[in-house]
Amino acid sequence: MWVFGYGSLIWKVDFKYDYKSVGYIKGYLRRFYQHSIDHRGVPEKPGRVVTLIPSDDPNSKVWGVAYKIRNEDVDQVTQHLDYREKNGYSKQIVTFHPRDTKLEPFELTLYVATQDNESYAGAASIEDIARQIVACEGPSGLNKDYVYQLANAMRQIAPEVDDNHLFSLEATVKEMDTDNE
């Protein structure tokens, strides 16, 4: 079993894995369109975290990390991730394209929050999303730290990739965060 990390699973891997590979999936966009009431916000003041939305361009890419789970750990890791991603995420199978060209593309599991879940926040302007993020905190910490950690992780694993939504949001959050100090 392989699992794809495109959000906090890039930098906060809290499960056993045998091997990891940087690469991408096609046909999706990474967006801060999911409310978080259990990690980066609370029910009264939900934060925002990433999900994937279908792209109009079948060749658009979302970079992240694939983790190979050993057979003996599949049940434990699946239970852990089902719990961790419980707030509106469902599993899908997609094709992963490793950066390492010695590896062939392969299928893996990813957790994606679809528009029909109760915590789906939907589209908003970068400024509105940033305002919400700067104001929120949950059991896993400040919502703005999620943005900063994801942006830093993406620069480390895929420095050549310009994730416009993520980096524009990071810049706006930093600007608003400075204004609030």
Catalytically active residues, by annotation: 85
Query: CB-based burial of residue 133 (10 Å sphere; 0-12 exposed, 13-18 middle, 19+ buried)?
Result: buried
Among 11, 5, 157, residue whose Cα is nearest residue 81: 5
What is the residue-wise DSSP string for 84-147? HTTTTEEEEEEEEEESSTTSPPEEEEEEEE-TTSTTB-----HHHHHHHHHT-EETTEEHHHHH
Residue from 116, 152, 135, 177 nearest 41 by CA:
135
C-alpha 84/C-alpha 81 separation (Å) is: 5
